[in-house]
């Protein structure tokens, strides 16, 4: 429709202009309307182009940001920024009210496509980042399931300790006290007070380690008994277990350091029968109910009379075997009635009080009880050996 074509009939109206004035105005109105609507259409077309351009820009920008993300948290920020309730895509959709109704589906489709493209990229990147995170985690937590598990090693009581606890249990059961004493001792308590003066040959048998002329490492725990007697509290019923020392070379039956358990009873009317009864009960509890004891006369400087005690072999019950070297008996300890001179030296009246004493090697008990044929095994602390008991 052209303007000239509309104007021609107007010019032809001539002097009848008045009559046609109404229609002329009407035609101008129409012309204005046409012009306005053309402008609106142009404006709408530009608007749609701009929206398309805007959406394209948003899509490119979002995808670039997503691609350069290196953490899952960042992806969430991007999602909110573009697709959230107040996100960029919602801003664009607000402009839809200016779009002609017939154009809206096209723009709507474009918005949907943009949203879908961003969502797809987000999902793809999320999966990638999760995969990388998992790989990193697996790499830092490498577990070789074929390796054997670490076992906690549990310690084990030493055969000496087991034997000592057993001996202590037996004597405590008979009313004895367990008394401890010093390992470094005066010569007097270790020898002299036990009736072993300087020139006594027994001193050679118990050669030890001297710290000075008068101070040494004790050769027997009998020294503890002297300390107890000196306290003057009677009666006495005690055992003194502990470490003792001798200047011996190490072999299958000797060690420069070993353990003794010595016992002492001092009371009125104590006889050798009490000694025999006590040791027989001890042997039965330690080696078995049918164990018999045999007392052989012997000599110790600090007891009179003195004896060595044998028990029936607990392996062959007296028939003879490798353990008892065919004799049926095994020597386990030395004992005797406390020498009156020893009582006197410690301030006890031998006419009023009597006593008996005994001494047993702890290692000897352990070796016998557990049939160990070399004492050195007890000191090697080999867990494979120790855990057998
Ligand atoms: Zn035997």
Q: pLDDT tens-digit profile of 222-258?
A: 899 999 989 989 999 999 999 999 888 888 778 889 9
The pairs formed by 220-223 with CB atoms below 8 angstroms and a separation of 24 or more are 220/190, 220/194, 220/244, 220/260, 220/262, 220/359, 221/181, 221/260, 221/261, 221/262, 221/359, 222/190, 222/194, 222/262, 222/302, 222/357, 222/359, 223/181, 223/182, 223/185, 223/189, 223/190, 223/193, 223/194
CA of 330 to the centre of ligand 1 (A): 8
CA of 374 to the centre of ligand 1 (A): 18
Mean pLDDT of 363-374: 86
pLDDT above 90 (res 259): yes
**Of 82-96, 132-146, 159-173, which has the strongest mean pLDDT?**
159-173
CA of 74 to the centre of ligand 1 (A): 86
Chain position carrying tokens 């084990």: 156
Chain position carrying tokens 């490119």: 60
**pLDDT tens readout for residues 267-311:** 999 999 999 999 999 999 999 999 999 999 999 989 999 999 999
Query: Which of 188, 208, 183 shows the shortest CA–CA distance to 198?
Result: 188
pLDDT at res. 5:
46
**pLDDT tens readout for residues 199-208:** 887 777 778 8
Q: How far is CA 281 from the centre of its chain?
A: 45
Residue 36: is the preceding peptide bond cis (ω within 30°)? Answer: no
324 — pLDDT class (breaks 50, 70, 90): confident
CA of 196 to the centre of ligand 1 (A): 36
Dihedral (CA of 335, 336, 342, 347) sign: positive
pLDDT above 80 (res 330): yes
Mean pLDDT of 71-77: 86
pLDDT above 70 (res 20): no
337 — pLDDT class (breaks 50, 70, 90): very high
CB 214 within 8 A of CB 259: no
CB 61 within 8 A of CB 78: no
CA of 332 to the centre of ligand 1 (A): 14
Give the predicted TM-score (pTM) of the model: 0.60
CA of 93 to the centre of ligand 1 (A): 107
Sort strands 293-300 and 257-267 into parallel, antiparallel or unpaired.
unpaired
CA of 287 to the centre of ligand 1 (A): 13
CA of 9 to the centre of ligand 1 (A): 153
CA-CA distance, 174 to 315, in Å (whole number)? 26
Give the per-residue SS3 of 174-207: CCCEECCCCCEEEHHHHCHHHCCCCCCCHHHHCC
CA of 362 to the centre of ligand 1 (A): 20
**Is the pLDDT higher at 28 or at 104?**
104
pLDDT above 60 (res 27): no
40 — pLDDT class (breaks 50, 70, 90): low
Mean pLDDT of the chain: 84
Burial class (CB in 10 A: 0-12, 13-18, 19+), 125: buried
CA of 215 to the centre of ligand 1 (A): 42
CA of 366 to the centre of ligand 1 (A): 16
3-state secondary structure of 381: coil
Contacts of 81 (CB under 8 A, 6+ apart): 87, 88
**pLDDT tens readout for residues 91-139:** 877 777 777 777 778 778 888 888 898 999 999 999 999 999 899 888 8
């Amino acid at each position: 429709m052209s303007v000239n074509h509309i104007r021609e009939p107007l010019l032809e109206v001539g002097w009848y202009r008045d009559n046609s004035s109404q229609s002329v105005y009407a035609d101008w109105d129409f012309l204005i309307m046409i012009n306005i609507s053309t402008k609106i259409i142009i404006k709408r077309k530009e608007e749609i182009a701009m929206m398309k351009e805007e959406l394209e820009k948003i899509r490119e920008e979002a995808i670039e940001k997503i691609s350069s993300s290196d953490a899952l948290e960042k992806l969430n920020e991007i999602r909110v920024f573009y697709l959230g309730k107040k996100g960029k895509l919602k801003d664009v959709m607000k402009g839809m009210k200016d779009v002609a109704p017939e154009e809206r589906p096209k723009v709507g489709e474009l918005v949907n496509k943009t949203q879908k493209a961003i969502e797809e990229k987000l999902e793809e990147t999320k999966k990638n980042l999760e995969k990388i995170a998992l790989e990193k985690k697996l790499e830092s937590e490498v577990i070789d399931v074929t390796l054997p598990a670490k076992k906690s090693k549990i310690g084990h009581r030493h055969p000496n300790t087991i034997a000592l606890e057993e001996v202590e249990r037996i004597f405590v059961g008979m009313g004895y006290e367990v008394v401890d004493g010093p390992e470094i001792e005066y010569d007097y308590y270790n020898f002299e007070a036990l009736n072993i003066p300087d020139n006594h040959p027994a001193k050679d048998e118990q050669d030890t380690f001297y710290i000075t002329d008068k101070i040494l490492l004790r050769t027997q725990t009998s020294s503890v008994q002297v300390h107890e007697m000196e306290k003057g509290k009677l009666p006495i019923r005690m055992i003194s277990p502990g470490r003792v020392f001798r200047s011996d070379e190490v072999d299958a039956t000797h060690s420069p350091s070993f353990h003794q358990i010595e016992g002492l009873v001092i009371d009125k009317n104590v006889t050798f029968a009490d000694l025999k009864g006590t040791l027989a009960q001890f042997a039965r509890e330690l080696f078995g109910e049918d164990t018999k004891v045999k007392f052989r006369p012997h000599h110790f400087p600090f007891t009179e009379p003195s004896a060595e005690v044998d028990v029936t072999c607990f392996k062959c019950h007296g028939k003879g075997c490798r353990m008892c070297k065919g004799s049926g008996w095994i020597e386990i300890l030395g004992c005797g009635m406390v020498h009156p001179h020893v009582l006197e030296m410690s301030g006890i009246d031998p006419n009023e009080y009597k006593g008996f004493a005994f001494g047993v090697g702890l290692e000897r008990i352990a070796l016998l009880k557990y049939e160990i044929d070399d004492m050195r095994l007890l000191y090697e602390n080999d867990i494979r050996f120790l855990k057998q008991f």
